[in-house]
Structures are given as structure tokens and as C-alpha cells.
Amino acid sequence: MMSIDKNLDKIRHNIEDVAQGCGRDFKDILLLGVTKTVDTDLVEEAMKYGITDVGENKPQELSRKYELIGDRVKWHQIGSLQTNKVKYIIDKVELIHSLDRISLAKEIQKRAEQHDITVKCLVQVNVSKEESKHGIYAEDVESFIRKCSEKYDRIKITGLMTMAPFDAEKEEVRSVFRDLKKLSDDISKLKLPNVEMKDLSMGMSQDFDIAIEEGATIVRIGTSIFGKRNYNK
């Protein structure tokens, strides 16, 4: 029998331990509960035990759950985002973690104008250059962010996001996270308008400890909170 409160307890202790071990304050690290495929009653349960932010990768699923739960929790779009799905989530999300192309920036700008809002976004970076992965290559991130900063005033870029390669050695995972942190520091120095490099969204159930050691401010955790996902429901 899965117990969300015990799982959360354990993860929070882990986060505290790792943060302490590398001289960071655990309060600077947001535990984002990844709730894709998880029923809303379990999302509610996690909220009862202190989860303030949840991440979904499918816009329609986010939108459906939002109708039931609303603003009692903050919603994050963490998965790749099709341009024609932006309209479902634009007025519901705290943060989009997956801005990875100009056509998407353009659509976010357009929809944000319609709602008269500003939308916070992280730029997703494909550090490891796996073909299967979404995200911008590290060397193209600066010019992408410059362009967004100049052209899309309804987008506030607040940091970077990446996913480590699956089944990689720990040292490879670490170097991916380290590269993202370095890139973030470099871009921060440019002091671009409407850009504030404060968030690093990196680390999942398997590798959040390494991510925290390398500077993560948001860890995205699903399986360790809610158990193994069942995609067939």
C-alpha cells in the first residue's frame, strides 16, 4: 500500500540531507510533485501533506485537473508543449518549463496578450544532445533568449530546465547538470531585459540528489511520491 505522506517525508529528509551536505538551504529548493497519470484524489492527498506545486506534461490533463482543483495548488507545464495546446494552459500555469522554440514563444506571446498576462517560462536545454530529447542545444540558448527578450514582452524567462540522459552513469548526469548551471550563470551576466536566471529545474526521482548538489532550485519528482505510473488507465 502506497503512502504519500511517508514518501513525502522521506524525500524531504533526503533533500534536506543533500542540501546540508553541500552547504545549501533546503528552503531554496522547490519540491515539484509530478502528477501526470495520477488521479486528483491523490493530488489532493499530496497537497494535504504540503505539496504546493504540481507538474503535468499533457496540457489537457492539466486543464482537466485544474477544473477540479483550481488555484489551491500551483500548476507547472513540464513536458514538451505543442503550439496548438498553449491555449489550454496559458491562464492556469505558474511556470512553463519547456520553452524550446520560437514558434512556441510566439504563440505564448499571442495568448498571453489575449489574457493580458505575463507568463513565466524556463528554456528547456538539450545538454546531452540526445536526438530523442526536446530542448535547445546549449550553444544556441543565448541567441534564443536574446530573441525572446527583444521580441516577446509577455514572456518572462526565469531560468533553465533540462533532463539528464536516461540510464546514464552518475558522472555523466552530473556533468549535464553542471553544464546547465554554468550556462545559467553565463546568461545571467548578460543582464538581458525581462530575463532573470534564478531557477534551475533539474533532477527527477532517480537523480535529484546530484541535481541539488549542482544547483537545482526545482526538482521534479513523480515516482518517488506517487509510485510507479500506470499509463494504461
Ligand X SMILES: *Cc1c(COP(=O)(O)O)cnc(C)c1O
34 binds ligand X (CB under 6 A): yes
The residue among 14 and 206 lying less far from ligand X, judged by its C-beta, is 206
DSSP letters, the chain, are ---HHHHHHHHHHHHHHHHHHTT--GGGSEEEEE-TT--HHHHHHHHHTT--EEEES-HHHHHHHHHHHGGGSEEEE-S---GGGHHHHTTTEEEEEEE-SHHHHHHHHHHHHHHT--EEEEEEB-TT--TT--SB-HHHHHHHHHHHHHH-TTEEEEEEE--PPTT--HHHHHHHHHHHHHHHHHHHHH--TTEEEEEEE---TTTHHHHHHTT-SEEEESHHHH-S--TT-
Binder to ligand X among 62, 78, 90, 105 (CB under 6 A)? 78
The answer to whether 93 and 55 are in contact (CB under 8 A) is no
The residue among 135 and 215 lying less far from ligand X, judged by its C-beta, is 135
Give me the count of residues in the chain: 233
Question: Which of the stretches 15-23, 109-117, 166-174, 219-227 binds ligand X when contact is defined by CB under 6 A?
Answer: 219-227
Binder to ligand X among 33, 79, 135, 215 (CB under 6 A)? 79
Question: Which of the stretches 3-11, 14-22, 180-188, 201-209 binds ligand X when contact is defined by CB under 6 A?
Answer: 201-209
Question: Which of the stretches 16-24, 138-146, 173-181, 204-212 binds ligand X when contact is defined by CB under 6 A?
Answer: 204-212
> 83: which 3 cell numbers?
503550439
The interface mask with ligand X, positions 122-151, x = CB under 6 A, is ------------------------------
By beta carbon distance, the residue nearest ligand X is 222
57 binds ligand X (CB under 6 A): yes
Binder to ligand X among 60, 118, 143, 223 (CB under 6 A)? 223
In the complex, the smallest distance separating the C-beta of residue 36 from ligand X, rounded to whole angstroms, is 6
The residue among 105 and 219 lying less far from ligand X, judged by its C-beta, is 219
The answer to whether 123 and 183 are in contact (CB under 8 A) is no
205 binds ligand X (CB under 6 A): yes
Backbone Cα Rg of the chain: 17
159 binds ligand X (CB under 6 A): no
33 binds ligand X (CB under 6 A): no
Binder to ligand X among 204, 211, 212, 216 (CB under 6 A)? 204
In the complex, the smallest distance separating the C-beta of residue 139 from ligand X, rounded to whole angstroms, is 22
Tell how strand 155-161 and strand 53-56 pair up.
unpaired
Positions that interact with ligand X (CB under 6 A): 34, 36, 57, 78-79, 163, 204-206, 220-224
